[in-house]
């Protein structure tokens, strides 16, 4: 579904992405792992258009999308969540969700004069969708809570919820499990699995929690120093000498 070819990106002297070629398969939950500074977030930033690669290409269903702007990629169904949650803290959970859908008729001032009924209807539909999303993610009891008052884990759930307000083709999750307690992590894991199985979402997730990865992800891609070390099942990844070395090497 997502094809990356000979991708390269450096920041000054630092090579963040060093000639990466890889494929993310449709309907997979692919994990992207690797030590700090491996280039995982940079890869996400390139895929979703927030930074441009120096060379190489990104294709979505065999269409070259390299260098497209983030809003364009969003409209094509490439959605992401951030390593640090990006909620609007002074808006409620419900309003955070309702803000998401692109091309809302209500955004055009002229339309508010000429077709207020249509806008009202659209708003009702969006509100209904927001409640469905909150129901799915067990956030309904927090609908009218300010997003700024949520716990770290609940903010991550809200991030996931924002991707559900549109119909994504692929969702990139950047450390959705970081700093989240075990109970909420299970809720997030369940939601990801259901979205994958029931709604056929494709996920690529940067994750450190090996338990969560083992439960959800196949395949697992291992990155180190801007390159791909391997791509395989988690059971194979755990046993690979190079992978073990990369992780232990960083801790010594």
Ligand X SMILES: Nc1ncnc2c1ncn2[C@@H]1O[C@H](COP(=O)(O)OP(=O)(O)OP(=O)(O)O)[C@@H](O)[C@H]1O
Q: Among ligand X, Mg ion, none, what binds residue 106 when CB lies within 5 to 8 Å by partner kind?
A: none
**Which one of Mg ion, ligand X, none is in contact with 248 (Cβ closer than 5 to 8 A by kind)?**
none
3-state secondary structure of 167: coil
Angle at 83 between CA 95 and CA 205, to 5 degrees: 100
Smallest gap from residue 48 Cβ to Mg ion (A): 13
Give bridge partners of residue 60 from the DSSP assignment: 2, 63
| Dist CA 95 CA 166 (whole Å) | 15
Helix %, strand %, coil % of the chain (to 5): 45, 25, 30
Q: List the single partner that 16 binds among Mg ion, ligand X, none, CB under 5 to 8 Å by kind.
A: ligand X
> Which of ligand X, Mg ion, none sits in contact with 251, Cβ below 5 to 8 A by type?
none
Which of the stretches 20-28, 37-45, 191-199, 236-244 binds Mg ion when contact is defined by CB under 5 A?
37-45
Binding site for ligand X (CB under 6 A): 11, 14, 16, 34, 36-42, 83
**Structure token pair of residue 121:** 């209807």
Residue nearer to ligand X on the CB measure, 38 or 73: 38
**41 or 96, CB closer to ligand X?**
41
- Is residue 159 within a helix (H) or strand (E), and if so which, with residue range? helix 152-164
What is the rounded CA–CA span in Å between residue 193 and residue 199? 10
Our CB check for Mg ion shows the closer of 136 and 207 to be 207
Of positions 28, 30, 41, 81, contacts Mg ion by CB under 5 A:
41
Which residue number, 28 or 45, has a Cβ lying nearer to Mg ion?
45
The nearest distance, CB 177 to Mg ion, in angstroms, is 13
Residue 141, classified by CB atoms within 10 Å of its CB into exposed (0-12), middle (13-18) or buried (19+), is exposed
Q: Does position 187 bind Mg ion by CB under 5 A?
A: no
Q: Which of 226, 224, 231 is nearest to 245 (CA)?
A: 224
41 vs 96, beta carbon nearer Mg ion: 41
Query: What does the binding site for Mg ion look like in residue numbers (CB under 5 A)?
Result: 41
């Amino acid at each position: 579904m997502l094809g990356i070819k000979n991708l390269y990106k450096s920041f000054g002297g630092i090579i963040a992405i060093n000639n990466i070629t890889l494929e993310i398969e449709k309907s997979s939950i692919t994990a992207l792992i690797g030590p700090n500074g491996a280039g995982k977030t940079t890869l996400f930033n390139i895929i979703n258009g927030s930074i441009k690669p120096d060379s190489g290409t990104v294709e979505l269903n065999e269409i070259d999308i390299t260098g497209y702007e983030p809003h364009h990629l969003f409209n094509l169904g490439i959605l992401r969540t951030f390593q640090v949650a990006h909620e609007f803290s002074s808006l409620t959970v419900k309003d955070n969700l309702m803000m998401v859908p692109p091309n809302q008729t209500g955004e055009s001032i002229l339309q508010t004069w000429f077709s207020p009924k249509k806008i009202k209807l659209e708003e009702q539909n969006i509100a209904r969708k927001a409640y469905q999303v909150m129901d799915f993610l067990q956030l309904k009891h927090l609908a009218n809570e300010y997003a700024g008052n949520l716990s770290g884990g609940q903010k991550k759930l809200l991030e996931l919820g924002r991707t559900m307000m549109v119909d994504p083709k692929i969702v990139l999750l950047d450390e959705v499990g970081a700093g989240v307690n075990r109970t909420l992590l299970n809720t997030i894991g369940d939601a990801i699995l259901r979205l994958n199985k029931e709604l056929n979402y494709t996920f690529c997730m940067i994750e450190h929690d090996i338990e969560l990865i083992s439960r959800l992800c196949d395949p697992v891609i291992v990155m180190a120093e801007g390159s791909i070390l391997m791509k395989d099942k988690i059971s194979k990844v755990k046993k690979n000498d190079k992978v073990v070395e990369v992780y232990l090497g960083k801790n010594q």
